[in-house]
Structures are given as structure tokens and as C-alpha cells.
Amino acid sequence: MIRFNQVSKRYPGGHQALSNVSFDIAEGEMVFLTGHSGAGKSTLLKLIAAIERPNGGSVIVNGQNVGALKPAAIPYLRRNLGLIFQGQKLLFDRNVFDNVLLPLQICGFNHRESAQRVRAALDKVGLLNREKINPIALSGGEQQRLCIARAIVNRPSILLADEPTANLDTEYAGEIMNIFRSFHQVGSTLLISTHDESLIRQGDGRTIALKHGELAA
Ligand SMILES: Nc1ncnc2c1ncn2[C@@H]1O[C@H](COP(=O)(O)OP(=O)(O)OP(=O)(O)O)[C@@H](O)[C@H]1O
């Protein structure tokens, strides 16, 4: 489902973030991506979502070479991806429900189906009873769960999460891991970058480790 074949990424200015990285992730797998700060984890996730392009090798997602996609094809790729990335902003001028609705509005779903999907996503992350409030009134962990609801409302087949439990206490981190496990159980493919050893222990998935931009043995 995701295949990296000898992938290298060098940023402008000459920094080599990834060197000759190769691995496969099968449909339905849950994989943790680990490595020190600066090892290249975020870069690897961005290559899958075509936020960055590789300088060498190929990144294949669902049979498509995403590094070679034309810009017009990128939104179609992203419809199959749920992205939980650092720095993604919630909209504080809309309520919880409307924050989750936004990706469906962009895709042109009708109102009734959208509302059902939003409520199903909010239910999964335990925020169904908070749909009318402004996200500013949510705790850090609840805001993170709202970001997850927004990422899954399209029912993506692949979920990419970059440090999803950073800055959260253990209790919240455990809740988020439970949500990921429930996706894994229904057959979604997950790739989760994390420093959090306890998350990895709870997750029962394979680990891919990066060290200075290379796969660590
Ligand atoms: N847009 C960019 N321009 C230039 N260099 C970058 C850019 N993004 C990342 N880098 C560099 O590439 C390397 C890998 O960064 P990346 O963010 O992928 O690492 P990471 O493993 O996710 O780190 P962290 O755990 O700290 O988030 C780092 O040395 C970083 O400074």
C-alpha cells in the first residue's frame, strides 16, 4: 500500500533529510516511525502526502508514484489520506461540528450525509456531546481528538500521524492510542511517528526506525 524505493530527500540549502530509504507497508498494517529529533520522520510522512517531493527514488501510495503526480492530482491522493500533522490549526471562529465538516464541504458532500459522517467521526473520538461548543473551550487532549476527527471524517484508507501525542499527558495519550487501535481493527493502514515508547508498547505494531535520514538496523 505504501512503498519507499531508495528514497532520498535533500532540502534546498543542501540538507540531506533522507538517504536511500526503502520499506513496504501492507494494507491494514499499523506501523510506528521512530528516531531522534531531526532523523527525518516528518519528512518521510510529508513525502507520502506529496507535501514534499523526493530527489531520488520513488514513493508509491496505492499504486501511484506520488512524487511524480501533477499538482491537479494531489487533492485526489489526499482524499485517501487522513493527516494528523503538527501545527495544523483548528478554526476558532467555528464550532466543533463545523471544524470537522470543513473537509467534507470541500469535497462537495450533501448536507445530510455530511452531518452523519461528522457525528460518526465525533462519536469515535468521544466528542459527540461537544459539537456545538467552540474548540477554544476544549482541553489540549480534546483539541487533539478533534484534529483526529477532522482527519478521519473522509474515511481515509491511510492515516498518517506526526507526533500525535506530543505535549499530552499519559491519560490523553492512552485515549488517542485507543482511537488508533480502533481504526487498525477495522482495516485502516496507520503510520504514526512518535518518540513515545509507551505509545509504541500499547500499539502492538511494527516499528520503522530512522537514524540521520537512514533506516536504522
Ligand atoms: N523545510 C525544510 N527546509 C530545510 N531543512 C529542513 C526542512 N524540513 C526539515 N528540514 C531538516 O531535515 C532534517 C529532518 O527533519 P524532520 O523534520 O524530517 O525530522 P524529524 O525526525 O521529524 O524531527 P522531530 O522529531 O524533531 O520533528 C532536519 O535536519 C531538519 O532540520
Banded pLDDT at 72 (limits 50, 70, 90):
very high
Three cell numbers at 32? Answer: 510506528
With a cut of 80, say whether residue 48 has pLDDT above it: yes
Three cell numbers at 166? Answer: 506530543
Low-confidence winner among 10-14, 37-41, 130-134, 196-200 (lowest mean pLDDT): 196-200
Banded pLDDT at 151 (limits 50, 70, 90):
very high
Among 18, 43, 46, 51, the mutation site with the greatest number of ligand 1 atoms within 8 A of its Cβ is 43
Residues in the chain: 217
First to last CA, the chain: 22
Question: Are the C-beta atoms of residues 44 and 21 closer than 8 Å to each other?
Answer: yes
Helices (H), 21-110: 41-48, 74-79, 96-107
- Which residues have a Cβ under 8 Å from the Cβ of 71 and sit 6 or more positions away? none
Question: Are the C-beta atoms of residues 21 and 58 closer than 8 Å to each other?
Answer: no
CB of 166 within 6 A of ligand 1: the answer is no
By C-alpha distance, which of 199, 170, 146 is closest to 31? 199
* Across 195-212, average pLDDT: 85
With a cut of 90, say whether residue 172 has pLDDT above it: no
Average pLDDT, the chain: 91
How far away, in angstroms, is 95 Cα from ligand 1 center?
Answer: 33
Report how far apart, in Å, the C-alpha atoms of 153 and of each of 9, 121, 148 are: 31, 6, 9
Banded pLDDT at 88 (limits 50, 70, 90):
confident
The Cα–Cα gap between 49 and 47 comes to: 5
pLDDT recorded at residue 141: 84
pLDDT recorded at residue 20: 97
pLDDT recorded at residue 150: 94
With a cut of 90, say whether residue 76 has pLDDT above it: no
* Across 147-172, average pLDDT: 88
With a cut of 80, say whether residue 116 has pLDDT above it: yes
CB of 42 within 6 A of ligand 1: the answer is yes
Three cell numbers at 80? Answer: 485517501
The Cα–Cα gap between 117 and 120 comes to: 5
- ∠97-151-168 over CA atoms, to 5°? 90
Q: What superfamily would CATH give domain 1-80+157-217?
A: P-loop containing nucleotide triphosphate hydrolases (3.40.50.300)
The Cα–Cα gap between 31 and 85 comes to: 16
In the chain, where the domains are located: 1-80+157-217, 89-155
The CB density around residue 80, as the number of other CB atoms within 10 Å, is: 16
By C-alpha distance, which of 150, 14, 180, 168 is closest to 83? 150
pLDDT recorded at residue 148: 92
pTM (2 d.p.): 0.92
The Cα–Cα gap between 217 and 209 comes to: 8
Low-confidence winner among 8-22, 31-45, 168-182 (lowest mean pLDDT): 168-182
The CB density around residue 75, as the number of other CB atoms within 10 Å, is: 11
Among 41, 193, 212, the mutation site with the greatest number of ligand 1 atoms within 8 A of its Cβ is 41
Report how far apart, in Å, the C-alpha atoms of 115 and of each of 120, 121, 160 are: 9, 10, 24
Beta bridge partners of 2: 25, 61
The ipTM estimated for the assembled molecules is 0.96
